[in-house]
Amino acid sequence: MVTAATGVAAAVPPPPPNPSDSELKTSRADAKAKAGKVGELTNQLAQAEARLMDLQADVEAKMEEANKALVDLESAVDAAAKAKADAEAAKREADSAGRDIEAARKQLDDFAAGSYKQGTTMGSMSAYVGAKSPEDLLARAQLLNAVSGSELDALESMERARTVKANKDSLARAALDEANKRQAEAEQAKRNADAATATAQQAQRDQASKSQELEAARADYERQLNEAQAKVGGLENQRQRYQEWLAAKQREDAAKAAAAGNPRPVVGRPSGDRAQIVINRALSQLGVQYAWGGGNGSGPTRGIRDGGVADSYGDYNKVGFDCSGLMIYAFAGVGIRLPHYSGYQATSGRRVPLNQMAPGDMLFWATGGRIHHVAMYIGNGQMVEAPYSGSRVRIAPVRYGGIVPYATRLL
């Protein structure tokens, strides 16, 4: 190096530290081992997450069964109440008919007893007293015969009515027994459905706990990996600085002027790349908590109630994103508006085969043909997503279990 004032070559400063090849090799091996462990834990976590998604779908199905059982139980209770009312009404009718028949029978018995005491089958002698002529007497006898006959006819009619009402009473009681049986069956079905839902929710909570443990373990190894990579980078920087010093020393020794090199420009994605804008916007929300129903074009919002799993995690009191809300925010950065439902987002653009998916495409998962989750592909087999209640926006390997066979492209 030559100074401007003297024109004499300046001495090269003392050499910087030069890590040995062994140190570099050991450091790189340690970083590689840490990266391998991170990859292993990432795969385990992906499997755990896939299991959690399956359990979540199972919980939703069990909750629907419990809802159906509740509706059936309410219908059975209503039917049993109506059958009970019908049975009580039929019994009252039968009892009333019985009382009417007993009264009519007593009246007829009193008439017959009076006739017997007077020594005639035509009625009481008092009915004949005061007859003014034989014709009048005969008319009164015919009248008494008609009265006795009509009472017998009425008694027979009431007996038939009582039989009809007794049959109605019997049928109503049988209907009540059947309704009570259906109600008992519906109550048992509701208990079974509630128990199945509780079991499914417990399995989901257990799996979520395992996933959190794996997530914590992976985070710890990622920290170690970052430290190992920083160490490798530090050693490599030292080696590079030493090599630069050595080159300068060689130039000095050869009495050559130092040549200043222009740095090579960094090649990256153009700033106007819409896919990268969308990806960067989604990645800017890493770590934001999940909130079912949360998220819009401006950012995270308060979640809403779902009457089930999300409520148990208190999502309605959290500010964050759900899976489709994160997509709304990401694509709003390039002026694209999306509906807050993953099923509609799946049809909002052009479908491409999974083997042609590109960064910025949306990926979807379905159970029983119904789409229930969406994430964004960011390249290198990775995606960004808001996965489920109790989690946060994160980067994860693409899960192929339950994935629909296409990606949706908007850009």
Which tens digit of pLDDT belongs to each residue from 169-199? 788 888 889 889 888 988 898 899 888 888 8
Catalytic residue among 49, 65, 93, 323: 323
Q: Do residues 368 and 270 make contact, with C-beta atoms less than 8 angstroms apart? A: no
Number of H helices, E strands in the chain: 6, 8
Q: 17: pLDDT confidence band, cut at 50, 70 and 90?
A: confident
Mean pLDDT of the chain: 80
Specify the DSSP class assigned to residue 310. Answer: H
- pLDDT digit string (tens) for 71-111? 888 888 898 898 889 888 888 887 887 787 787 777 766 66
Interval 323-339 mean pLDDT: 96
Q: Which residues contact 38 (CB under 8 A, 6 or more apart)?
A: 218, 221, 222, 225
Q: 350: pLDDT confidence band, cut at 50, 70 and 90?
A: very high
CA nearest neighbour of 94 among 145, 143, 160? 160
Whole-angstrom Cα distance, residue 226 to residue 342?
35
Which range has the worst mean pLDDT, 58-67, 147-156, 232-241?
147-156
Q: Do residues 53 and 402 make contact, with C-beta atoms less than 8 angstroms apart? A: yes
Identify the helix (H) or strand (E) that includes residue 301: strand 301-302
* pLDDT value at 123 more than 80: no
* pLDDT value at 317 more than 90: yes
- Beta strands in 174-235, from DSSP E residues, in sequence order: none
What is the token pair recorded at 262?
């222009």
**373 is known as an active-site residue:** yes
* pLDDT value at 313 more than 90: yes
pLDDT at position 359: 96
Most confident region among 105-109, 121-125, 157-161, 242-246 by mean pLDDT: 157-161
Whole-angstrom Cα distance, residue 224 to residue 180?
66
Report, in this order, helix, strand and coil percent for the chain, each rounded to 5: 60, 10, 25
CB atoms within 10 A of CB 324: 24
Interval 353-370 mean pLDDT: 94
pLDDT at position 111: 64
pLDDT at position 139: 64
Q: How many residues does the chain have?
A: 411
- pLDDT digit string (tens) for 26-70? 878 888 887 887 888 888 878 887 887 888 888 778 776 777 888
Catalytic residue among 60, 65, 93, 373: 373
**340 is known as an active-site residue:** no
For residue 9, the SS3 value is: strand
CA nearest neighbour of 204 among 103, 58, 305, 342? 58
pLDDT at position 6: 46
Identify the helix (H) or strand (E) that includes residue 150: helix 134-253
Per-residue burial over 163-176, b if 16 or more Cβ lie within 10 Å, else e, is eebbebbeebbebb
